[in-house]
Chain A
Amino acid sequence: DVKVTQSSRYLVKRTGEKVFLECVQDMDHENMFWYRQDPGLGLRLIYFSYDVKMKEKGDIPEGYSVSREKKERFSLILESASTNQTSMYLCASSNGQFNQPQHFGDGTRLSIL
């Protein structure tokens, strides 16, 4: 089974802090994704990566950056956290072949005070 592990289930940070969310997958997947999930808005893509050192902006990249130094790890960075970034963050990975489903981690519920 695919295992996508997010480092924290719950996280509380203060406005202005730099926040790191970590995601690791154990299936040697090429593709990794970061989404945020808000009530009524569904899943919105923040950033994605198709390969090590590669990153692409998704639909809502403002206020975020990412890092993919190793194939299995994809980090989401909130450069200066703001209260409107309070949300559920979901990491996903998929095989690099076309049509392959994404597999999700359990999510990190982040609160910015």
Chain B
Amino acid sequence: GQQLNQSPQSMFIQEGEDVSMNCTSSSIFNTWLWYKQDPGEGPVLLIALYKAGELTSNGRLTAQFGITRKDSFLNISASIPSDVGIYFCAGQLWGYGQNFVFGPGTRLSVLP
């Protein structure tokens, strides 16, 4: 099936640092979503992107829909301890119906 790659797989940062992660594929997507999953919980939607080049913010989070339509980026500014969790990207392919393909996730740890 279709695959999404997320980078990095995991990261350890100091509180207050900025974070960048990305999601890439060889396929073209028409929608990108970013989710966060806390331990023992279900994924929660953070940001949805619908147009190539689109830049959308949600508080300290900013995500971009790549110009090539094959990638997306998520940035977190001034990280805090509650940012800890797994961040998933999800993409919707042209002609793939209403389903999404999910990336394997980036695990973020924030050190005090």
Q: Which residue from B30, B42, B98 sits with its C-beta under 8 Å from A90?
A: B42
Residue on A with the closest CB to B42? A104
**Interface residues of chain B: helix, strand, loop or mixed (majority):** loop
With an 8 Å Cβ cutoff, the count of chain B residues facing the other chain is 24
Known: A42-B88, A59-B1. A101 touches B33 (CB 8 A): yes
Question: Min CB distance, B2 to chain A, in Å?
Answer: 10
What's the Cα separation between A75 and B25 when bound, in Å? 32
Interface residues of A (CB under 8 A from B): 4, 31, 33, 35, 40-43, 45, 48, 50, 58-59, 90, 94, 96, 98-107, 109
Across the interface, do A43 and B42 meet the contact criterion of CB distance under 8 Å? no
Known: A42-B104, A90-B43. A99 touches B50 (CB 8 A): yes
Give the contacts of B1-60 with A (CB-CB under 8 A).
Answer: 1, 30-31, 33, 35, 40-45, 48, 50
Interface residues of B (CB under 8 A from A): 1, 30-31, 33, 35, 40-45, 48, 50, 88, 90, 92, 97-100, 102-105
